[in-house]
Structure 1
């Protein structure tokens, strides 16, 4: 099922590409992919989020990555291109990116996320604050475990 969705992603029709990403999101939501397959899927989704010209397609790709982040532990390296390209995202899409980065629990994401704490859009500011809280909490929990 996921392979046919990837094939549809090559369509010139934005609605077709968007629908194919909904299928990918549904597959990720089941939690049935192996960790390696989930990471490969997320890598492809990140590429789409950074390169597709259709706003709806990029939003669907980020939504699917966000869904994956609730069912799999995504390493920062898999989503790092989103961090690198964060400044290029519209505010709504940036909220997805910040949430995804926070869900990695990787301290490498913290400086990037902190940059958006004073963002002029309230939604971005709120999501950055939540991501920072999550990253700091995870860091403090890890420090308590090693103490």
Structure 2
């Protein structure tokens, strides 16, 4: 089994356990997914599918800790891969339903896409009552105005 297969097997195992576990265990499964995404060694199409699943969890009726872990994993992915806006767009559509800390994650992810389609959503939160949300909206706005720098594929 090569490295990529080993990493994807870890994520698939976490997904399988996620479906049949209690909230604490689901939280730990999502931490595993985040750890694997942090490696930066997965194929882009696999990352996009994984992030799509994480977005679904973040938007679910799960408890706060599980949704926070899902969003943390999406942020981890956005730090190591170029996530297209279309993959995280459901977060933009559901942004108003997030608690302030979770909303900060959402804004960071939207900014990381460097896609100006996220501008209207991000701009709405520049005057949010919570300072962390305002700060993250401001940073996301800055990110959205800067073009994405070319990245090098670290998978060898």
CA distance in 2: counterparts of 1:135 and 1:127, whole angstroms? 12
Counterpart for residue 6 of structure 2: none
Counterpart for residue 7 of structure 1: 16
Shift of 1:12: 4.2
Q: Which structure has greater helix proportion?
A: 1
User: Does residue 114 of structure 1 match 2:123?
Assistant: yes
User: Does residue 55 of structure 1 match 2:55?
Assistant: no
Counterpart for residue 105 of structure 2: 96
User: Does residue 25 of structure 1 match 2:5?
Assistant: no
CA distance in 1: counterparts of 2:18 and 2:83, whole angstroms? 23
Counterpart for residue 76 of structure 1: 85
CA distance in 2: counterparts of 1:52 and 1:21, whole angstroms? 16
Q: How does 1:34-45 map to 2 (within 5 A)?
A: 34-45=43-54
Task: Give the alignment partner of residue 137 of structure 1, picking from 140, 143, 146.
Answer: 146
CA distance in 2: counterparts of 1:109 and 1:136, whole angstroms? 11
TM-score (norm 1): 0.92
CA distance in 2: counterparts of 1:30 and 1:130, whole angstroms? 25
TM-score (norm 2): 0.87
User: Does residue 64 of structure 1 match 2:73?
Assistant: yes
Shift of 1:127: 0.2
- Find runs of 4+ consecutive structure 1 residues off by over 2 angstroms: none
Unaligned runs of at least 5 residues, structure 1: 142-147
CA distance in 2: counterparts of 1:17 and 1:115, whole angstroms? 32
CA distance in 1: counterparts of 2:17 and 2:65, whole angstroms? 15
